[in-house]
Amino acid sequence: MSHPEEAPLAGRVIALTGASRGIGHALAELLHKAGAKVIAGARSPSEFAHDAIVSVALDVCDETSVQAFAQLAIEAGVDSIVNNAGIGTFGAIESATLEDYRKVFDTNVLGTLLTTKHFIPEFKRRHGRGLPSRLVNITSDVSTRTFAGGAIYTASKHAQRALTQTSAWEGERYGLRVTEIRSGMTDTHFNGHTPGTPERAGHLRANDVAQAVLYALSAPHHVRVDEIVLHPTAQPVVY
């Protein structure tokens, strides 16, 4: 028999977007290890070696796809959703294209909005049965700042922060606890990078971010984790 500290999410069912690789893949594995059943959605579903990780095709920009994902999770007994799907494009404002804007905002902002929207009715039903629910949005440390070349990406992250905080305000009346995870430089496939290169040795690892999500999901019922900001020590101090 597992001890609570070994399986803090035993009996829990958690839906996750952007689970194909990087932070999402590491998080699916960590949540499973912590005892949860995971409904792992991604455009290109990954193969997992565990029956408790259900890999599902998901396009967060397509409301029909999101509805099907949410319904599958609801039928499995979902109590939490982690919005992790995200992409980025970078460049000067004068070189920005409508295609870049729509691609980033559709995935990062519309995707977060649609996924949250279709889980809320179940979270309200759970509240009516005296059960808590949690929403975790993985954004970025740039959800409160910006930089040259980051107009489209950082604007999308500011918008995700607004969605996160609005979800917290609206969800308070039905017991929804909402957390924003704001990580700095992380060694993943993001923006076409190859993980494990020497120049990124000092960056956060995907599992570092996954551990922050685990804390938010497993915090005691009397604790609301509003946001977690984490950076590698190799990154200059920023706020």
DSSP letters, 90-104, are: ---GGG--HHHHHHH
Range of the domain at 18: 14-230
Residue segments in the chain with a per-residue pLDDT below the cut of 50: 1-3
109: nearest Cα among 158, 67, 36:
158
Q: Identify whether 67 is part of a domain.
A: yes
Convert the pLDDT of each residue in 174-193 to its tens digit: 999 999 999 998 877 665 66
Q: What is residue 6's predicted lDDT score, i.e. its pLDDT?
A: 77
Q: Is residue 236 part of a domain?
A: no
pLDDT in tens, 200-213: 777 899 999 999 99
DSSP characters for 5-73? TT-TTTT-EEEESS-SSHHHHHHHHHHHHTT-EEEEEESSPPP-S-TTEEEEE--TT-HHHHHHHHHHH
Residue 203 is assigned to a structural domain of this protein: yes
Whether 191 is in a domain gets the answer yes
Residue 180 lies in a domain: yes
Asked whether residue 101 is assigned to any structural domain, the reply reads: yes
Q: Residue 2 falls within a domain, yes or no?
A: no
130 within some domain: yes
In the prediction, which pLDDT does 189 show? Answer: 67
Active-site positions?
153
Q: What is the CATH number of the domain that holds 99?
A: 3.40.50.720
- State how many domains the chain has: 1
pTM (two decimals): 0.93
